[in-house]
């Protein structure tokens, strides 16, 4: 078994179909994102057939208050593997070894999150002195009940009132709609310290495929009121799961139209219409206890909270030892 590392989209081989988060399309999006450099790790067997691949983002973060400059490697999930692969943890362990080969003194830490099973690669993380931090994921099952049945009574009333007031929602199709929807997201996320939005160019690349047509892997939804866009959301699609990546609404300017609620509702109903089994909220991650209101908002859609682990490895071993004595 060997692992090759690709750093340019033009050099990427044909990859196994699977997670949208680890796709060649997402690689191209990260390639255009400011302060980010993607790495695609691909594992091959002795016959030169792909066993699996893992997308890693090398990120840079600059903050003025407080003044911080940090670099880190971010891994979102365990990657994509072929159906014949029966030793995913072993392959993933080799991917982690490659990450350590790339790790240099400039980088502050390695972050691994969005692991489906908390037991996955547990021995690998312990062997490399990763620090486990309790985290949570939130999703809605779409295969047993419709989204309307899972709504709380108050949110059912909010959506019904917004629609009676003339609020509509749909996918953004024209370039003008996409531009206005993305600009709304940008304005909203500028004030968020814990949640970051990629550049407009990167988001635009996310919504289009290599030919320039609208992508089926990600869609932008807009909420309109009196011919003005008052909310928008971006949803990513896997084979069986849809992910709400970003959402916003002008809730202070249009409180009785509930634009934030309708933006999420637009993505959720489309995922149900397309037959996805689960709808997951990516925005739940990276949230502190100060953002409980946002989590409570998602629970009103019928969301379920699932405990999981987020793993960190810092370049200073003494920090890893201290944190492991606290968290392990």
Burial class (CB in 10 A: 0-12, 13-18, 19+), 231: buried
Last residue of a domain, one of 128, 158, 190: 128
Residue 62 is predicted with a pLDDT of 66
Residue 270 is predicted with a pLDDT of 95
Tell whether 316 is covered by a domain.
no
Which of 95, 97, 94, 104 lies closest to 71, judged by CA?
104
Q: Which CB contacts under 8 angstroms, 24+ apart, belong to 317-325? A: 317/129, 320/129, 320/130, 320/131, 321/129, 323/131, 324/129, 324/131
Residue 64 is predicted with a pLDDT of 60
Tell whether 295 is covered by a domain.
yes
Distance of CA 30 to the CA centre of its chain: 12
| SS3 assignment, position 90 | helix
Burial class (CB in 10 A: 0-12, 13-18, 19+), 65: exposed
Q: Are 183 and 305 in contact (CB under 8 A)?
A: no
Distance of alpha carbon 249 from alpha carbon 246, whole angstroms: 11
Tell whether 190 is covered by a domain.
yes
Do 74 and 176 reside in the same domain of the chain? no
Tell whether 44 is covered by a domain.
yes
Residue 304 is predicted with a pLDDT of 85
> Is the CA virtual torsion 28, 11, 237, 280 positive or negative?
negative
Distance of alpha carbon 263 from alpha carbon 327, whole angstroms: 37
Tell whether 323 is covered by a domain.
no
Lowest-confidence pick of 18-22, 36-40, 77-81, 245-249: 18-22
Q: Could you list the residue range(s) of the whole structural domain that residue 66 is in?
A: 2-128
Do 145 and 120 reside in the same domain of the chain? no
The per-residue pLDDT for range 203-244, each reduced to its tens digit, is 888 898 878 889 888 999 999 999 999 999 999 988 888 999
Distance of alpha carbon 70 from alpha carbon 254, whole angstroms: 38
pLDDT at 195 over 70: no
Residue 284 is predicted with a pLDDT of 58
Between 285 and 164, whose confidence is greater? 164
Do 74 and 154 reside in the same domain of the chain? no
Distance of alpha carbon 75 from alpha carbon 91, whole angstroms: 15
Which of 111, 127, 109, 116 lies closest to 81, judged by CA?
116
Distance of alpha carbon 307 from alpha carbon 109, whole angstroms: 23
Residue 68 is predicted with a pLDDT of 62
| Dihedral angle of Cα 240, 124, 245, 164, to the nearest 10 degrees | 60
Distance of alpha carbon 60 from alpha carbon 55, whole angstroms: 16
CATH of residue 209: 3.40.630.30
Do 272 and 186 reside in the same domain of the chain? yes
Tell whether 321 is covered by a domain.
no
Distance of alpha carbon 118 from alpha carbon 7, whole angstroms: 29
Distance of alpha carbon 233 from alpha carbon 248, whole angstroms: 6
Do 108 and 233 reside in the same domain of the chain? no
Residue 290 is predicted with a pLDDT of 43
The CA-based angle 205-206-207, given to 5 degrees, is 90
Tell whether 133 is covered by a domain.
no
pLDDT at 104 over 70: yes
Do 30 and 113 reside in the same domain of the chain? yes
Do 124 and 145 reside in the same domain of the chain? no
> How many CB atoms are located within 10 Å of the residue 285 CB?
17
Lowest-confidence pick of 110-119, 203-212, 289-298: 289-298
Tell whether 314 is covered by a domain.
no
The per-residue pLDDT for range 29-85, each reduced to its tens digit, is 888 888 889 999 999 988 889 999 999 998 877 666 556 667 888 998 889 999 888
Query: Tokens standing for 167?
Result: 């609020």
For the chain, what is the domain count?
A: 2
The per-residue pLDDT for range 136-170, each reduced to its tens digit, is 788 888 988 899 999 999 999 999 999 999 999 99
Residue 192 is predicted with a pLDDT of 67
pLDDT at 306 over 90: no
Residue 97 is predicted with a pLDDT of 92
CATH of residue 56: 3.40.630
């Amino acid at each position: 078994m060997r692992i090759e590392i690709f750093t340019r989209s033009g050099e990427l081989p044909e990859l196994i179909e699977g997670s949208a988060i680890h796709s060649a399309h997402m690689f191209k999006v990260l390639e255009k994102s400011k302060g980010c450099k993607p790495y695609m790790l691909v594992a091959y067997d002795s016959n030169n057939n792909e066993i699996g691949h893992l997308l890693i983002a090398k990120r840079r973060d600059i903050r003025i208050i407080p003044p911080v400059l940090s670099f880190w490697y971010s891994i979102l999930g365990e990657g994509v593997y072929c159906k014949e692969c029966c030793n995913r943890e072993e392959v993933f362990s080799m991917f982690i070894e490659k990450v350590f080969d790339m790790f240099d003194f400039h980088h502050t830490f390695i972050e691994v999150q969005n692991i489906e099973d908390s037991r996955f690669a547990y021995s690998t993380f312990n062997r490399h002195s990763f620090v486990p931090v309790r985290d949570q994921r939130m999703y809605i099952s779409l295969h047993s009940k419709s989204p309307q049945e899972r709504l709380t009574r108050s949110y059912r009333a909010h959506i019904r009132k917004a629609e009676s007031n003339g609020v509509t929602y749909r996918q953004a199709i024209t370039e003008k709609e996409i531009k206005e929807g993305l600009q709304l997201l940008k304005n909203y996320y500028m004030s968020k310290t814990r949640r970051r939005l990629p550049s407009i160019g990167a988001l635009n690349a996310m919504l289009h495929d290599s030919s320039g047509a609208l992508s089926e892997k990600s869609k932008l939804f807009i909420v309109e009121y009196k011919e003005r866009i008052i909310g928008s959301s971006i949803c990513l699609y896997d084979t069986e799961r849809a992910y709400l990546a970003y959402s916003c609404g002008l809730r202070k300017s249009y409180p009785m139209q509930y634009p934030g609620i309708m933006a999420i509702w637009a993505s959720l109903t489309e995922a149900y219409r397309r037959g996805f089994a689960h709808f997951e909220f990516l925005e739940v991650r990276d949230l502190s206890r100060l953002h409980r209101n946002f989590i409570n908002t998602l629970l009103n859609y019928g969301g379920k909270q699932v405990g999981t682990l987020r793993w960190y490895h810092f370049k200073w071993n003494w920090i890893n030892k201290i944190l492991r004595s606290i968290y392990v």
